[in-house]
Amino acid sequence: MFIISSYSIAILFCVITMLCWGSWANTQKLASKTLRFELFYWDYVIGILLFSMISAFTLGSFGTEGRSFLEDLKQADSSNIWSALIGGVIFNAANILFSAAIAIAGMAVAFPVAIGLALVLGVIVNYSAAAKGDPVMLFLGVAMVAIAIIFNAVAYKKKSIGDPKVSAKGIFLSLIAGVLMSFFYRFIAASMDLDNFVSPAAGKMTPYTAVFIFSVGIFLSNFIFNTILIRKPFEGTPTSYKAYFNGSFSTHLTGILGGLIWGLGNSLNLIAAGKAGPAISYGLGQGATLIAALWGVFVWKEFKNSSKSVNNLITAMFLFFIVGLALIIYSGI
C-alpha cells in the first residue's frame, strides 16, 4: 500500500485535491450542451466508483507497508463499513443538490457558497473529532474563507438584480448542499485509523478501502436520489433513463472523466489526512472553491460585463480565500 510520510507531501496532495475538486464541474458544463445534468450525474458517479476500484487494486494493493485492499476489506468491522457507506449516501445527497445549483447559478456562485460553507462547517466538525493543528491559525483561516463567501454572495446578488428567482433558487440549493457536504468526510475518516496507516487497528480500514466503500454508498444511493430527480427536476421538464441511453458516447465519457477527476482528489485527500489531520486535509481540499471560482470568472465568463463594484467584490473574495487557505496550511506546521 502506498503511504506518505511527511507533512509537506500531505499538503501537496491536498493542493492536488483542491485542483481536482475545483475542476471536475467543467465536465458538467461541457456535457450540459447535449445531456441534462441529472443524466450526466450517472456518468459522474460511475467515474467515482471506477477510480476507487482502480486505486484499491493498484496503490492500495502494491508495496510492503500496510494491509492490501482485499486483506483490509476482509478484516473490516461492519460498523466501519457502515460508516463509510453512510458517508457516501450523505455526500451523494449533497452533491446532487450542488450539481443542480451549478446548473442553475453557475460555478462562480455554487462553489463559493456551497463548498465554502462546507469548508467552514466541515473543519469545525472534523477538528472536534480529531484536534490536529493550531486551532487559532486554523479557525482564523476558516474565518477568512467565511468572509470570502459573504463577498461572493453579495457580488452575485448585485449581478442578479432583475432575475431574483434564479438567484434565490441557486443560492438556496447551494446552502443546503453546503450543510450536508460538511458531514460526509467525518464518516469516512471515522472508518479509518488516521494515526497509523502502516499498521491500522483491527477492524479499521485503510484510505483505499474506505474510499471504495464510500463510492459504493454513492453508487447505490444514486438509484434512489437521482431517479427522484430525473422524474421531478428542480428546473425544466422531467426526463427519463431512455434519454440517458440516447446520449452520445463522447458525452458519457465526459461525465465519467468528471468522476475520475473528483475521485482522484478524494483519494489523495484521505491519504493526506493521516499526516495533516482530517480538519486541515478537508479544509484545504475544499479550497476547491477558489479554483472553481477562477474557472467560472475567467473561463466561463459568469461575471462578464459586471459593474466595477461587483468586480471589486470578486477580487476581495479571491484575496480572502488565498489568505484563509495559507493560514490553514500554516496551522499544521
List average pLDDT for each run of 10 residues in the chain, which is 333 residues long.
92 96 91 91 97 96 88 97 98 93 78 85 93 94 88 77 63 92 95 91 96 98 96 91 94 97 96 94 88 83 84 92 93 91
Residue 161 has a pLDDT of: 63
Bridge partners of 192? 205
Name the H helices within the chain.
7-23, 25-31, 37-57, 69-75, 78-105, 107-110, 116-129, 135-159, 164-190, 207-231, 241-245, 249-276, 278-285, 288-294, 308-330
Classify residue 139 by its DSSP letter: H
Classify residue 202 by its DSSP letter: T
Q: Is residue 24 within a helix (H) or strand (E), and if so which, with residue range? A: none
Residue corresponding to grid cell 450523505: 90
Residue 205 main-chain phi, psi, to 5 deg? -110, 155
Residue 126 has a pLDDT of: 94
Q: What is the C-alpha separation between 157 and 170, in angstroms, rounded? A: 11
**Structural domain spans, the chain:** 7-330
Residue 162 has a pLDDT of: 57
Q: Which residues contact 208 (CB under 8 A, 6 or more apart)?
A: 1, 52, 55, 56, 59, 60, 61, 69, 72, 267
Burial tier of 191 (Cβ tally within 10 Å: 0-12, 13-18, 19+): buried
- 22 neighbors 110 (Cβ within 8 angstroms): no
Q: How far is CA 90 from the centre of its chain?
A: 12
